[in-house]
Amino acid sequence: MPNDEVRIERALEIFQLTGKKPSELRKSHAAVSPRLEAKWLLLWPKREILWSNIEKRVRHMFDNGLVEEALALKNRVKLKTTILQTMGYEEALLLADGFLSKEEAIEKTCIRHRQYAKRQMTWFKKEIWWEKI
């Protein structure tokens, strides 16, 4: 994809590190069978418990240096880098730049985490390999 800067940059990084194109590496791993059979354990908490846990985790992130971490990362990478749009980082940078209050940043981050959890739950509901107990 000629306009996908992230994938192009990653492909160049892989080539620089290995001397091989990413497609070559994928082919070499495709034939390898897994050594172990994986067993999955799916925890499915009630929605109110999940939402509460998400809020606690997000508050902990903001109280324990997320803004400083996001600012340090911003100084090390290109501004358009996808990593800066990750849940929490984007809101932390908006907080640092004065566009959001701390509570607004926390709430927006909680919303994004809840949306992500919902997408995960939807995906798992479609899978046939697990059984809800």
pLDDT attached to residue 30: 62
The CATH code of the domain at 47-126 is 1.10.287.890
Where are the alpha helices (H) located in the chain, listed in sequence order? 5-18, 22-30, 47-63, 66-76, 89-96, 102-126
Local mean pLDDT, 10-residue blocks, the chain (133 residues): 77 88 79 72 87 97 96 80 82 95 97 95 76 57
Give the start-to-end residue ranges of the domains of the chain.
1-38, 47-126
Residues 77-81: contacts with CB under 8 Å, at least 24 apart? 80/5, 81/6
d(CA 94, CA 49): 28
Alpha carbons 127 and 89: distance in angstroms, whole number:
31
**What pLDDT is stored for residue 48 in this prediction?**
95
